[in-house]
Amino acid sequence: MIAFATKNGNDLHIGRRLPRMLREAGLTDVRVKPLIHVPPLGHARRMLLLDLVENLRERVLSQKLIGEAELDESMASVRHHLEDPQTLEIFSLYFQAWGRKPVSGSQEARSCPRCTGATNSSGTGD
């Protein structure tokens, strides 16, 4: 599914880069709060990945990312694993991130290259 997401323009790691992106956009006091969802056995979200794969099945197969037999075997294996009460399934990892926009003319705004129009030659913003 990672190859499928990447091939179709989805960025599965945007949350990890979000704080840096906010700083590069000129925000200060950037904060991050990670959120982890762990659905218990029997919860509908526990099998959501399998539902997603089933919904995308034809597209995944048409892009030849995996063969049909291998996909069926993988899905059965994942289902068996998720049905095991000993399996801790992390449904998703989310990131909340926020910051403050410096007040125009403040020391914070003057020291922010993005806010003053200056650029960082390294392109990293760090």
Task: Give the largest Cα separation in the chain, rounded.
Answer: 63
Classify 93 as helix, strand or coil: strand
pLDDT digits (tens, 9 = 90+) for 61-90: 998 989 999 999 999 999 999 999 999 998
CA–CA gap between residue 66 and residue 58 (Å, rounded)? 11
Strand partners, 92: 37
**Which pLDDT belongs to residue 111?**
66
2: CB partners within 8 A, 6+ apart: 12
- What is the average pLDDT score of the chain? 84
CA dihedral 66, 62, 2, 42 (to 10 degrees): -80
pTM of the shown model: 0.57
Average pLDDT of span 88-103: 90
More confident residue, 60 or 92: 60
